[in-house]
Amino acid sequence: MISVEMKRAELRKWSEGETFFRRAWYELLRRPVALTAILAFQVRYSGRENIPSKGGVLVVSNHQSHLDPPLIGLGCPRQMNYLARRSLFAFAPFRWLIASLGAIPIDLEGSGIDGLKESLRRLRRGEMLLVFPEGTRTYDGRIAPFRPGFTTLAVRSQAAILPAAIDGAFAAWPRRRRFPRPGRIAVHYGKPIFPHEFAAYNQRELLAEVERRVRECSAHLAAYRKRLS
């Protein structure tokens, strides 16, 4: 009979192999996607020095378009994981693609508990995870109030919270358009909140502080856009 320890060792070995494959595939695609982003959207990044070089990181951003996950992820030197609604996994080829790049399916109609458990597991493993607390893409370009829940992930995993913002993606690909159009997009990463700072906030205060920092990142980008115009 295979012992519990042997089963766990096999699971760890498989997980490490799967993680290595995802990272290699992710890096292989990074350059052509980055080149496309530069040519199509003149994408620019700022605040990259604020990205923690190691440990679990929960990246929290506003949500303007379908372009947000890859463009925010491209600015990070480390691999990014993403939450994706389960319906996006319905088409087999696309399911394989996004799963191979670290997407975690989450059931928005149900409890979403499986997706949250996997998110917690990856954060505890020292990976980066991108979330959009608005819950959906913006309808008018403005940031909607943040929904609670993501702070629990950070506190339970003891992952740093990295505020970020994207600007110009709404103009390039608003909800009403089927396909994106060329534009100018910028991403800014703000100062992180580290686990040892969590004790200074209760859950409501931490939610408000992260939203404030994301809006601050957005204001930074708006000022940058104004200087260019």
Maximum Cα–Cα distance across the chain: 70
Least confident residue range of 23-32, 58-67, 120-129: 23-32
Instruction: Give the model's confidence band at 102: pLDDT under 50 very low, under 70 low, under 90 confident, else very high.
Output: confident
Instruction: Give the model's confidence band at 225: pLDDT under 50 very low, under 70 low, under 90 confident, else very high.
Output: confident
What is the predicted pLDDT for the residue at 9?
A: 46
Instruction: Give the model's confidence band at 218: pLDDT under 50 very low, under 70 low, under 90 confident, else very high.
Output: very high
Number of independent structural domains in the chain: 1
Sheet bearing 44-46, strands edge to edge = 44-46, 186-189, 160-167, 57-61, 128-131, 80-85, 103-106
pLDDT > 70: what percent of the chain? 90
The C-alpha atoms of residue 166 and residue 171 are separated, in whole angstroms, by 11
Domain, as residue range, for 108: 4-228
* Nearest residue to 56 via CA among 137, 143, 123, 134: 123
- pLDDT for 39-85, tens place per residue? 999 999 999 999 999 999 999 999 999 999 999 999 999 999 998 88
- List C-alpha distances in Å: 221 to 44, 156, 178, 210: 10, 31, 26, 17
More confident residue, 39 or 6: 39
Least confident residue range of 17-31, 67-81, 196-210, 214-228: 17-31
CATH number for position 206: 3.40.1130.10
- List C-alpha distances in Å: 198 to 127, 148, 151: 19, 15, 10
- pLDDT for 29-49, tens place per residue? 999 999 999 999 999 999 999
What is the predicted pLDDT for the residue at 122?
A: 95
Instruction: Give the model's confidence band at 11: pLDDT under 50 very low, under 70 low, under 90 confident, else very high.
Output: very low
